[in-house]
A and B are shown apart, each in its own frame.
Chain A
Amino acid sequence: MGGEPAAGIAGSALHPPGRAHLLGTDALGRDLLARLIHGARPSLLVGFGATAIALLVGFCAGAFAGLRGGLADLLIVRLVDVVACFPPLVLALAFVAATGRTGLWPMLLGVALSRWTSMARYVRGEILRHRGGDVWVSARAAGAGGGRLVLRHLLPLLAGPLLVMTSFGIAGAILLESGLSFLGFGVDPPTPSWGSILAESRATLDAAWWPVVFPAAALVLLLAALCAAAERAAGSETRGTPLV
């Protein structure tokens, strides 16, 4: 098996799956399995990294707006509403285009930019809901300040739903990453990503099925697993509620 994802072997282009290459080779003779394994790296990195940034920014913005109220709240809510108007792929593409660079970091930030709004909305709403409730009043009576109130007393209450939003968010971010890579605005070649492997397979669509089917299956399995996990965590009451 060819271990290096970028190393092609002359004369072994478009080998069907077999003993020498378990999933076959692509048009340049590179082992598809090795490329798939290495291609998981940008997908997972952007999926988890961008969602972590989005969660952090969204949580802070939402908590600040909910706690502060007044003008700060109004401005943050307006900003969230406006940013949420842009379709995620458009916003991520515009960001990547404006930085004038392709690669992991612009993509990571671009994806995070388009995904923090739903987190902020949710956290702000929950803080307003709990405001003046039992937890809130007792913590205040015990002398807790704003930060402690949110982190120590409200965060545990929100942890479950946030976990669900996070796993749907990771799925959405991976979908965006593979889309950007597919369109040629992701990681730079020859670094493989599932999206870019699929894009390369377009050239040999009529000659080989394996460069299309295997990366597509990898993506579908990962995304379906994330959604199924999120759903299990959400329980039955949110069945049918779109979170992404």
Chain B
Amino acid sequence: MIAFLLRRVVSALPALVGVTLVAFFVLNLLPSDPVQVWSGGSALSAEAAGRLRSELGVDRGPAARYAAWAVALLRGDLGHSLRDGRPVAFVIGDALPWSLALNLCAILAIYGVAVPYGLVGASSPGSATDRAGGWALLLLYAVPPFAAALILQQWVAVGLGWLPLQGVSAEGASLPGRVWDLLRHLALPTLCLALSGWAIVARYSRAAFRSVLGREFLSVVRAKGLSRLRAHLRLAANTAVPFVTLLATIVPGLVGGSIIVEQVFSLPGVGRLYLAAVEARDYPVVLALTLLSAVLVLAGHLLVDLLYLLVDPRIRTALLPERTDAI
């Protein structure tokens, strides 16, 4: 198991290096003078511009700058924010928990709704419910997260007053009270972030369930007296592999979507930090977060590979022969 994990991590290293190259060069190799661009076109004094130039290392060639940046990166040094001078790692560390909480809620919401929907749709293909569901999903898929956010804010938060309009807090007399407050603030953002993922996973799960619903093993376990519910639960285990794969498909969309959702709902997460940094031309933060987004996606791929081991015994025996000997 450890050996497999190590092999997998080592095989991801070239991609990791590639990701740093792309992030660095997209942000650096454009024809404009970076100091002018990143100082926002404001008239810097010659002295200040010179200082910024040497700090960014603009007077060196791009290859030398990349090398310096990569070496610092290996030491865990992401540089300092140009806005307040704090280390970039701290700035990101403050924002990361909010984004992780939001994305985790969204993933739970996506699978929690989409998988049962797929099972219901697949058990009665072509029925009115199934067809209506198909159209509803197509429509959901076409709703941009910010449009959904504005409409929900206007309707649920302003009109009905059920949920807070924006911001986030975890206040309350007791721990359950604090959790309740947090969940109330995260409800609308989670819903908006989950929309497009819902459409993708639900349609996929319907197709996956349909392809196994007619198989003999299902009739066999039913004939042997397993209830319909338990039979379907067993069935869900058989379709777990495509669902795991799908996780890798929806993660990039979630990371991008949280930028918009965090902005609309004023959540102090990484997405909002990214926008603020882009707006303020806070180059070290933008570079670090661009890199982080891709690293998160890479980590998602790794996680998916590990989940394969968990859900599919065939993959487990193929990859980890030593374990089957022991059992």
Interface residues of A (CB under 8 A from B): 78-79, 81-83, 85-91, 93-100, 113, 171, 175, 178-179, 182-185, 195, 198-199, 201-202, 205-206, 209, 212-213, 215-216, 219-224, 227-228, 231, 239-242
Contacts and interface: CB of A to CB of B under 8 A. Distances in A.
Contacts of B14: 78
Nearest to A91: B26
A79 B145 CA distance: 29
Contacts of A227: 138, 141-142
A179 B145 CA distance: 9
Nearest to B290: A94
B41 A100 contact: yes
Contacts of A95: 26
B262 to A, nearest CB: 11
A85 B37 contact: no
Given A85-B298, A99-B30, A175 B278 contact: no
A62 to B, nearest CB: 18
B206 A240 contact: yes
Contacts of B274: 90, 93
Given A94-B26, A220-B139, A224-B139, A198 B260 contact: no
Contacts of A205: 150, 153-154, 158
Q: Is the interface of A mostly helix, strand, loop or mixed?
A: helix
A179 B203 contact: no
Interface of B: 14-15, 18-19, 21-23, 26-28, 30, 32, 36-38, 41, 138-139, 141-148, 150-151, 153-154, 158, 200, 203-204, 206-208, 246, 249, 252-253, 255-257, 259-260, 263-264, 274-275, 278-279, 281, 286, 289-290, 293-294, 297-298
Contacts of B23: 86, 94
A100 B286 CA distance: 13
A98 B207 contact: no
Given A98-B37, A201-B150, A178 B259 contact: no
B19 A85 contact: yes
Of residues A88, A113, A201, A240, which shows the largest number of chain B Cβ atoms within 10 Å of its Cβ?
Answer: A240
Nearest to B259: A89
Of residues B19, B30, B256, which shows the largest number of chain A Cβ atoms within 10 Å of its Cβ?
Answer: B256
Given A98-B28, A99-B32, A179 B249 contact: no
A148 to B, nearest CB: 33
Of residues B30, B144, B294, which shows the largest number of chain A Cβ atoms within 10 Å of its Cβ?
Answer: B144
Contacts, number: 163
Q: Is the interface of B mostly helix, strand, loop or mixed?
A: helix
B18 A198 contact: no
Given A88-B256, A99-B32, A212 B154 contact: yes
B260 A89 contact: yes
A85 B297 CA distance: 6
Of residues A85, A213, A242, which shows the largest number of chain B Cβ atoms within 10 Å of its Cβ?
Answer: A85
A183 B32 contact: no
Nearest to B139: A224
A219 B293 contact: no
Of residues B28, B147, B298, which shows the largest number of chain A Cβ atoms within 10 Å of its Cβ?
Answer: B147
A34 to B, nearest CB: 20
Contact of A175 (B18, B28, B144, B208): B144
Nearest to A217: B147
Nearest to A212: B150
Nearest to A204: B154
Contact of A242 (B28, B36, B204, B286): B204
A90 B18 contact: no
A242 B202 CA distance: 11
Contact of A98 (B15, B27, B148, B257): B27
A215 B32 CA distance: 35
B150 A86 contact: no
B146 A97 contact: no
Nearest to B141: A227
A166 B150 CA distance: 29
Given A100-B37, A205-B150, A240 B203 contact: yes
A195 B37 contact: no
Contacts of B30: 98-100
B297 A81 contact: no
